[in-house]
């Protein structure tokens, strides 16, 4: 059974590229959402195994989305990995990809990094 990955980021070109790269592997069903305001509904409908979530979005921040998800008993257990350009790869590497108790990947993200994070987070 394919693992379901939801990519939430306002950069359409980034989510398209990430989706293509993950789906090419054949082990993932990938959905993208480019609006923070629609993110929680996308999670409810898709029921992903893992969410990659951008922090800086124009209509609703990733922090706010994560808070809404964690307040919903049906969605709270879904792991979230934040994507961000506000921390460097060196920052995330030196902290073992955790900042403030949350998993992070620094942008730009390589497919190998996505795959490693998927394996580390959901197996």
Give yes or no for a cis peptide into 105 (omega within 30° of 0): no
- pTM of this structure: 0.90
Which CATH homologous superfamily contains domain 3-122? Response regulator (3.40.50.2300)
**Tens-digit pLDDT profile for residues 24-47:** 999 999 999 999 999 999 999 999
Q: What residue spans define the domains of the chain?
A: 3-122
Could you tell me the sign of the dihedral formed by the alpha carbons of 25, 98, 106, 63, in that order?
A: positive
Q: CA neighbours within 13 Å on the CB side: how many for 88? A: 3
Paired sense of beta strands 98-99 and 102-106, if any:
antiparallel
Tell me the C-alpha distance between 41 and 79, whole Å: 16
Give the CA distances from residue 77 to residues 38, 68, 92, 97, 111, in Å, rounded to whole numbers and listed in that order: 19, 12, 23, 19, 24
pLDDT bucket at 66, cuts 50 / 70 / 90? very high
Non-local (6+) Cβ contacts of 63 within 8 A are 55
Model pLDDT for residues 78-120, shown as the tens digit of each residue: 999 999 877 655 655 554 555 556 788 888 889 999 999 999 9
Give the separation between CA 72 and CA 87, rounded to whole angstroms.
28
Note the pLDDT of residue 89: 55
Decide: helix, strand or coil at residue 6: strand
């Amino acid at each position: 059974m394919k693992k379901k990955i939801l990519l939430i980021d306002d950069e359409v070109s980034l989510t398209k590229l990430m989706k293509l790269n993950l789906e090419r592997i054949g082990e993932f069903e990938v959905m993208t959402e480019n609006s923070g305001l629609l993110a929680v509904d996308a999670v409810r409908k898709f029921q992903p195994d893992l969410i990659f979530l951008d922090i800086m979005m124009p209509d609703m921040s990733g922090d706010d989305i994560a808070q809404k998800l964690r307040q919903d008993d049906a969605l709270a257990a879904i792991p979230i990995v934040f994507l961000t350009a506000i921390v460097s790869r060196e920052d995330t590497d030196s902290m073992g990809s955790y900042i403030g108790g949350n998993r992070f990947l620094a942008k730009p993200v390589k497919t190998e990094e996505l795959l490693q994070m998927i394996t580390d987070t959901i197996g």
